[in-house]
A and B are shown apart, each in its own frame.
Chain A
């Protein structure tokens, strides 16, 4: 039994290396198929990060009376900082607000001219309130609505709730469409893999016939091909990781500059979820290969 087991492994490896080009093509197809599935995962991760970034940008602004004493402003700032939903409160003074305004419109001389002609700073101090996350946004706006203070002249968060709801709705719809597209893509990829293995075994049709003619048992006919399918997956996964992580490292700097943060690191994401992603891919593709090998050999072993 043990002898037969090692023989099956030997035949399988012999077959892979003696049919080098066929094996190479099969493994290449597997790598391309898995790579394309991983691209979908990358798009999903980037998409999710983009949505999170947008959600985090939903700040609440409190505009304050221009003549307010800074002491009162800091008191209000401390009070709001105590809210459990608040991540951070940033105070923008009149001067800073003017500076930001001038920087924003530096390419617009008419606006800068109009500001100069005013003779004074028309802008007011404000508090920018960052929620801990998008989910507590509504709670935070409710708390801020209850807040009554004379120094507050305007609260800019009435549209916050609506915007969040819109973002959530759009996000949900995008996710649903992405799931459907992903399923179609994954099914197509699995069919490509299935067919590649069947074609590979078709080229062994004569060999399977001969194995049956000399009296090989069922297991001796099936097992080398089934094992080859698993080995193709194994070699494919190893080669894929060798190309994939450098590809992610190449992509990272562009993503960091786009998101203006170091929060998104694709290589780290895939490393942290290595078993979940690559482990599941290995199991899924191995299963498909085993099934394809079994069905193809069964077809040609009936002589």
Chain B
């Protein structure tokens, strides 16, 4: 599903490689946690996967598509196939939760009738069916993150990237979000979770990839947070 082949990246003005000939293969349907200290290249991995950052060397394949030199025109199509959620939720503040989720469908020209069917259904999956007309500032952090997950799921992506999704949440909400991600993974979606949260990683008992200085230093099928 996702392949990094000798991926390298160096930011201008820096002598260090953020990604140093990194090789990584994530299979379809896997739940993978990527852990590491700050500045080790985790976020650069995520950015490269969504076309936000180009590699200086190597290749990235997503579902067989070589996105290494993806053009500006192709980026929207890539992002419709990869659902992404972030620590700061990234919801549109002047739109309701339902409008935020519908927006992801509207941008690809989906018909209004289909949007009216899909958006409420996805909100039900994440447990927000009663909060459709609320604005982001009117709901809790956990609910905002669920709305972000719902938005990431509307295209039925094969991959869901979660970059520190529990960073701004308390322990209870954080656990609920992880449970939701596990449920999504059970339905066949590949989930890539980038996190600092030791407890979550250790509880998951899933594949753990540890990154340090732009390289993979550990890759365990039922791993633990070992940094």
Residues in chain A within 8 A of chain B (CB atoms): 1, 3-4, 7, 14-15, 18-19, 206-207, 209-218, 220, 303
In whole angstroms, what is the CA distance A213 to B104 when docked?
A: 9
**Interface check B225, CB cutoff 8 A:** no
Contacts of B79 in A (CB 8 A): 212-215
Given the interface pairs A3-B112, A303-B52, the reply to whether A214 lies near B107 with Cβ below 8 Å is yes
Given the interface pairs A3-B112, A218-B73, the reply to whether A211 lies near B90 with Cβ below 8 Å is no
**Interface check B106, CB cutoff 8 A:** yes
| Residue-wise interface mask of B (103-117) relative to A, using a CB-CB cutoff of 8 A (1 in contact, 0 not) | 110111101100000
A210 touches B107 (CB 8 A): no
Contacts of B92 in A (CB 8 A): 207, 210
In whole angstroms, what is the CA distance A145 to B16 when docked?
A: 96
Given the interface pairs A213-B84, A216-B107, the reply to whether A15 lies near B76 with Cβ below 8 Å is no
Contact of B80 among A14, A18, A210, A215 (CB under 8 A): A215
A7 touches B94 (CB 8 A): no
Contacts of B103 in A (CB 8 A): 211, 214
Contacts of B107 in A (CB 8 A): 211, 214-217, 220
**Interface check B19, CB cutoff 8 A:** no
Given contacts A212-B76, A214-B79, 19 further A-B contacts (CB under 8 A): A3-B109, A3-B111, A7-B106, A14-B94, A14-B95, A15-B94, A206-B90, A210-B92, A211-B103, A213-B50, A214-B80, A214-B103, A214-B104, A214-B151, A215-B79, A215-B80, A215-B107, A217-B107, A218-B76
Query: Interface size on B (CB < 8 Å)?
Result: 27
Chain A nearest CB: distance from B130 CB in Å?
A: 23
In whole angstroms, what is the CA distance A211 to B79 when docked?
A: 11
The closest CB in chain A to the CB of B73 belongs to A218
Contacts of B35 in A (CB 8 A): none
Q: Of residues A18, A207, A212, which shows the largest number of chain B Cβ atoms within 10 Å of its Cβ? A: A212
- Shortest 5 CB-CB distances between A and B: which pairs? A215-B80, A216-B107, A215-B79, A18-B94, A214-B104
The closest CB in chain A to the CB of B135 belongs to A18
Chain A nearest CB: distance from B102 CB in Å?
A: 10
**Interface check B187, CB cutoff 8 A:** no
Contacts of A211 in B (CB 8 A): 103, 107
Q: Of residues B72, B78, B84, B107, which shows the largest number of chain A Cβ atoms within 10 Å of its Cβ? A: B107
B106 touches A215 (CB 8 A): no
Contact of A209 among B77, B78, B90, B106 (CB under 8 A): B90
Contacts of B94 in A (CB 8 A): 14-15, 18-19, 207
In whole angstroms, what is the CA distance A206 to B106 when docked?
A: 19
Contacts of B52 in A (CB 8 A): 303
Contact of A213 among B73, B77, B90, B95 (CB under 8 A): B90
Contact of A217 among B76, B84, B104, B151 (CB under 8 A): B76
Can you offer 10 A-B residue contacts whose CB atoms are under 8 A? A3-B109, A3-B111, A7-B106, A209-B90, A211-B103, A213-B50, A214-B151, A215-B76, A218-B72, A220-B107
B109 touches A4 (CB 8 A): yes
Contacts of A7 in B (CB 8 A): 106
A210 touches B109 (CB 8 A): no
In whole angstroms, what is the CA distance A18 to B108 when docked?
A: 23
A210 touches B91 (CB 8 A): yes
In whole angstroms, what is the CA distance A215 to B78 when docked?
A: 7
B:50-83 near A, CB below 8 Å: 50, 52, 72-73, 75-80
